[in-house]
Amino acid sequence: MLTKRIIPCLDVTLDSEGGTVVKGVEFVDLKKAGDPVDLAKRYNEQGADELVFLDITASHEGRSTMIDVIERTANEVFIPLTVGGGINSVEDVRQILRAGADKVSINTAAVKNPQLIKEASDIFGSQCIVTAIDCKRNPDVENNPDKTIIELEDGTPAWYEVVIYGGRKPTGLDAVQWAKKVEELGSGEILLTSMDRDGTYDGFDIPITRKLSEELEIPIIASGGVGKPEHMYGGFVDGKADAGLAASIFHFGEFTVRDVKEALEKKNIPVRL
């Protein structure tokens, strides 16, 4: 069994200080959590396997990603760094990689122009391209017979709708069908975030995580809802994810990365300590 990765996530917004890590619930009610470079250093020291840096308002605000903050972050950490937010072209991907990122996460731009995934993976290699899929449960199954219907925890049926612009705009796209398409286009990994679970401390959205993990060959990073180490365990065992991403529990000091890894190791989940 491959080692499971624990990945802290830095959701960053541009402000007067040049960039601040924030955390909200279901993508709203954002609270400040600290300086991105300071937090990145902390997680690097705690033994994080990777870091994800998401400029969460870049697409909505129609601007490019904060290159200077990425450069400063990349200078301080020695683990793989994935950067997303406001990436709309091959040239944007090139700039982010040049600034020190190891991988680039594409979300809104991929939905609007799927060929961007293919172009970027052809040039830089699929290992550099992560497609971020933000999705929300949609209970309207009667009017959506063409969608992938998934049974939720309580037995009710639903499909998962892809949302873009930081959760502001539903697309009508089915998350499972979209994930299969991005795999075909050359994406090396999927960062899956359930809006219904984001910031809730209720654990990962297992039904959609398991569905993608079973249906796709590429790794699935589960994201949204981690409140304690047991939720990571559920993501790996029940959701079959390859990696678990979390923000709140790390940013606000409830658990360190090492706490989570030690708890997982006790339950026989292979992690790098």
pLDDT tens for residues 189-245? 999 999 999 888 999 999 999 999 999 999 999 999 999 999 999 999 999 999 999
131 pLDDT tier (thresholds 50, 70, 90): very high
**Would you say residue 63 lies in a domain?**
yes
**Would you say residue 76 lies in a domain?**
yes
**Would you say residue 29 lies in a domain?**
yes
The SS3 of residue 40 is helix
**Would you say residue 272 lies in a domain?**
no
pLDDT at 20: 78
Between 63 and 90, whose confidence is greater?
Answer: 90
pLDDT at 12: 83
* Number of other CB atoms surrounding residue 41 within 10 Å: 15
**Among residues 49, 55, 92, 134, which one is catalytic?**
134
Taking only the tens place, the pLDDT of each residue in 14-70 is: 765 667 777 666 555 566 767 888 999 999 999 999 999 988 777 667 766 678 888
Count of domains forming the chain:
1
Give the structural domain span for 201.
5-267
Nearest alpha carbon to residue 199 among 7, 32, 25: 25
**Would you say residue 216 lies in a domain?**
yes
**Would you say residue 232 lies in a domain?**
yes
When the pLDDT of each residue in the chain is averaged and rounded to a whole number, the result is 91
**Would you say residue 113 lies in a domain?**
yes
pTM of full prediction above 0.85:
yes
**Would you say residue 273 lies in a domain?**
no
86 pLDDT tier (thresholds 50, 70, 90): confident
What integer is the mean pLDDT of 254-267?
97
Please give the helix or strand (H or E) that residue 92 lies within, else none: helix 90-98
Q: Cα 173 vs. chain centroid, distance in angstroms?
A: 18
The SS3 of residue 237 is helix
* CATH code for the domain in which residue 71 is found: 3.20.20.70
11 classed as catalytic? yes
pLDDT at 31: 64
134 classed as catalytic? yes
pLDDT at 136: 97
Task: Provide CB contacts within 8 A for 87, sequence distance 6+.
Answer: 65, 93, 96, 104, 105, 106, 109
260 pLDDT tier (thresholds 50, 70, 90): very high
